[in-house]
Amino acid sequence: MALYSEKVMDHFQNPRNVGKMDDADGVGEVGNAKCGDIMRMYIKVDQDTQTITDVKFNTFGCGSAIATSSMATEMIKGKSIEEALKLSNKAVAEALDGLPAHKMHCSVLAEEAVRAAVKDYYDRNGIEYGDELRQCDGHCESCGHEH
Ligand code: FES
């Protein structure tokens, strides 16, 4: 059996939504404590509907990080912020038909980057949020969130 699914290879070789967003409403940057890789996620938010209308990402991460982030951007684009916050790294890995166990930690980068971008959006707009997000300082091991 191949180590990586066709979907992982596709998203790694043709990542969706790569780039920078100059007029982003929220930017999240997170680092993966296990490997030192970093990820930056940009979101554009429709203020009236609290919907994520556009997403971009940049990463100094491995192939699995690129593939999971690419898939994560597709999964949250057009969704409400509330739904985006529910996105788990497991759900992203499942949507990619799985990741090797030793690469699951790479998918955490995508989930945390989404959460950090939303937190930044909330901070910029003075929107209150719960403790779970408040603890999220971009280092997944310290946020207490279950992965
Ligand atoms: Fe660092 Fe995959 S090895 S994100």
Write the pLDDT tens digit of every residue in 124-133.
999 998 877 8
Residues at CB less than 6 angstroms from ligand 1: 32, 35, 37, 61-62, 64-65, 106, 109
Task: Report CA(25)–ligand 1 centroid distance (Å).
Answer: 26
Count of CB atoms situated within 10 Å of the CB of 123: 12
- From the list 73, 74, 67, the residue with the least C-alpha distance to 93 is 67
What band does 32 get if pLDDT is binned at 50, 70 and 90? confident
Q: Above pLDDT 90, what percent of the chain? A: 78
Atom of ligand 1 nearest to the CA of 61: 4
Q: What is the pLDDT of residue 1?
A: 54
Q: Which amino acid is at 50?
A: Q
Task: Report CA(47)–ligand 1 centroid distance (Å).
Answer: 33
pLDDT of 25 over the 90 cut: yes
Question: From CA 1, how far away is CA 124, in angstroms rounded?
Answer: 47
